[in-house]
């Protein structure tokens, strides 16, 4: 199996960097059915017990109880054994209630701006649109900074203004009053965002 350019780039950034894990999560949300389900079905700010998640999976997929338990156990393992869970706030394990361990989906508080930009480019590549609005990212988008990391809208606006000032070749924004337009460079790819690190 060949080593991809993305793998080489992430190796340079390092396994201890939250940016590396944010990129991994962004790509899992595109390529893993389980992660897609979790992103779409478990709201930010919620706490759900393992049994609740197993039942919720059953509302989307007609799987046996055992298959659903195995899937949720794999998700727990991913979130608990990597920085994704507590470091990025994607699913922090909380103390069990009658042996039923819960996950708290808090959101990433100390967000990395490059992770935001990478997730926006991945979203643009999926939708084939490089002119976006902040509003659409909060109204049912299956990817992007809010869906993936729970970034509040006001915070995202500030991060994007900062990115625009520092990396205008990658992103420009019109975020004033009723305007919330985000313009990405359609000649660039998501992996090129990581070259700015």
| Structural domain boundaries in the chain | 5-104, 113-196
* Fold match between domain 5-104 and domain 113-196: yes
Predicted local confidence at residue 97, as pLDDT: 66
The mean of the pLDDT values for the chain is 93
Q: Which residues pair with 174 in a beta bridge?
A: 181
**Has residue 179 got a pLDDT over 70?**
no
Kindly report, residue by residue over 121-156, the tens digit of the pLDDT: 999 999 999 999 999 999 989 999 999 999 999 999
pTM of the model: 0.93
- CATH code of 113-196, in short, is 1.10.10.10
The alpha carbons of the chain give a radius of gyration, in whole angstroms, of 17
Return d(Cα 137, Cα 145) in angstroms, integer. Answer: 8
pLDDT in tens, 90-133: 999 987 666 778 899 999 999 999 999 999 999 999 999 999 99
Q: Let me know if domain 5-104 sits in CATH 1.10.490.
A: no
What's the average model confidence in pLDDT over 21-38? 97
Report which DSSP code applies to 2: P
Distance CA 73, CA 173 (A): 41
- The secondary structure of the chain in percent helix, strand, coil, rounded to multiples of 5, reads 55, 15, 30
């Amino acid at each position: 199996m060949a080593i991809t350019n993305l793998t080489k780039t992430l190796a340079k950034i390092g396994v201890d960097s939250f940016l590396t894990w944010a990129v991994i999560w962004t790509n899992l949300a595109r390529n893993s059915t389980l992660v897609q389900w979790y992103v779409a079905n478990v709201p930010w700010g919620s706490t759900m017990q393992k049994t609740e998640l197993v039942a919720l999976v059953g509302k989307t997929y007609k799987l046996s109880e055992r298959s659903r338990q195995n899937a949720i156990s794999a998700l727990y393992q991913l979130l608990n054994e990597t920085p994704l869970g507590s470091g990025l706030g994607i699913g922090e394990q909380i103390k069990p209630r009658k042996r039923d361990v819960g996950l708290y989906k808090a959101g990433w508080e100390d967000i990395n701006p490059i992770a935001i930009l990478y997730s926006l480019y991945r979203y643009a590549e999926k939708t084939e649109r490089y002119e976006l609005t902040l509003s659409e990212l909060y109204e049912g988008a299956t990817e992007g900074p809010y869906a993936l990391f729970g970034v509040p809208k006001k915070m995202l606006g500030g991060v994007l203004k900062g990115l625009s000032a520092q990396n205008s070749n990658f992103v420009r924004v019109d975020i004033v009053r009723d305007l919330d337009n985000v313009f990405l460079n359609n000649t660039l790819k998501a992996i090129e965002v990581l070259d700015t690190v």
